[in-house]
Amino acid sequence: MIMSNTEQTLSIIKPDAVERSLDNEIKEMFKNKGFLIVKEKKIQIEKSEAEKFYKVHETKPFYNDLCAYLSSGPIVVMILERENAVSGNRDLMGATNPNDAEEGTIRKKYGISIDKNSVHGSDSVENAKIEIDFFFKD
Ligand code: IDP
Ligand code: MG
């Protein structure tokens, strides 16, 4: 029996990558790994919205900088769909710190630093649903 596990996940191309006009190259990397871009929009969010989005990190010392950064310029927000999209996207993104990211990953190729690491991706199926709703519920 063929088991299929099509999932959706939320991906964000962060300000450092949009600013360097890397959004099309990053989208190509997703497509080359079999992801379908179901929805996408280029937006800039308020700091208060970034604070809501990253609420899980509110006790972290980097929370304020992180929210200021995500709201500092345009971002591209996408719903990606594929088999095992959540873990597949995390694999393609690479480690949070680009210095630790493996060859062939987006963060290895384009990330500048742990904060300017070019992409966000949901970390679980449950959070993917919450994050997709956050940006695309209308
Ligand atoms: P992730 O993006 O790989 O899921 P998280 O631990 O969820 O990593 O952290 C969210 C974001 O917060 C990271 O992508 C990164 O931009 C930033 N961040 C994480 N850890 C640090 C840190 O130690 N210093 C500064 N920024 C951090
Ligand atoms: Mg995370």
User: Given this model, what pLDDT does residue 138 score?
Assistant: 73
Per-residue pLDDT band at 32 (split at 50, 70, 90): very high
Full-model pTM? 0.97
Ranges of each domain in the chain: 6-43+77-135
- Residue bearing the CA closest to ligand 1, atom 3: 96
- Residue bearing the CA closest to ligand 1, atom 20: 114
How many whole angstroms separate alpha carbon 56 and alpha carbon 120?
14
How remote is the CA of residue 95 from the centroid of ligand 1, in Å? Answer: 10
The answer on pLDDT for 128 being more than 90 is yes
Per-residue pLDDT band at 45 (split at 50, 70, 90): very high
Q: Of these residues, 23, 29, 120, 131, which one is catalytic? A: 120
How many whole angstroms separate alpha carbon 27 and alpha carbon 37?
8
pLDDT, one tens digit per residue, over 46-90 is 999 999 999 999 999 999 999 999 999 999 999 999 999 999 999
Hey, what amino acid is at 24? N
How remote is the CA of residue 115 from the centroid of ligand 1, in Å? Answer: 6
User: Considering the domain 6-43+77-135 in this protein, what is its CATH number?
Assistant: 3.30.70.141
Note the ligand closest to the C-alpha atom of 127: 2
- Residue bearing the CA closest to ligand 1, atom 16: 115
Task: Classify burial at 98, counting beta carbons within 10 Å of its beta carbon; exposed 0-12, middle 13-18, buried 19 or more.
Answer: buried
How remote is the CA of residue 46 from the centroid of ligand 1, in Å? Answer: 19
How many whole angstroms separate alpha carbon 67 and alpha carbon 80?
23
Alpha helices for the chain (secondary structure H): 15-19, 23-32, 47-53, 63-70, 85-93, 106-110, 125-136
Whether 120 sits among the annotated catalytic residues: the reply is yes
Eight-class DSSP state of 42: E
